[in-house]
Amino acid sequence: MDNKTKLKIITKTFLAANKGKSFTSREICDFINNNNLAVRGGVTSTQLSRYLTPQYLRLEGIDRERKNSRNVWYYGISGVDD
C-alpha cells in the first residue's frame, strides 16, 4: 500500500472516530506523527491537504470548511448518521 492510500485511510478513520468534531490538517498530522502511524519522516499538513482532494472528500463523506474567514480548512464528519 502506498503512502497516499495509508494517509487517506488513517485520516478517514480518525475523523470517523471523532464524529461531529472538526480538525485542521495540522492537528490530523500531529496525531499521525505522534502515534507513528505514517511513513518514515512523518507527514506534513501540506502533503495531507494535497491528498485530500475535493473528489475524495465528497466520495468519503468528509466535510471541509473554513471558519473565522481564515485560510485554514477544517475537516470533519457530521455527527448525524445517514
Could you tell me the CATH number of the domain that includes residue 59?
Answer: 1.10.10.10
- How distant, in Å, are the alpha carbons of 35, 37, 51, 82 from that of 56? 24, 21, 8, 19
Considering the domain boundaries, does residue 46 fall inside one? yes
Q: pTM score, two decimals?
A: 0.85
| Number of separate domains in the chain | 1
Do the domain assignments include residue 61?
A: yes
The secondary structure of residue 52, as a DSSP letter, is S
Residue 82 lies in a domain: no
Task: For 38-73, write each residue's pLDDT tens digit.
Answer: 677 789 999 999 999 999 999 999 999 988 777 888
81 lies in some domain: no
The boundaries of the domain holding residue 23 are: 3-76
Is 24 among the domain residues?
yes
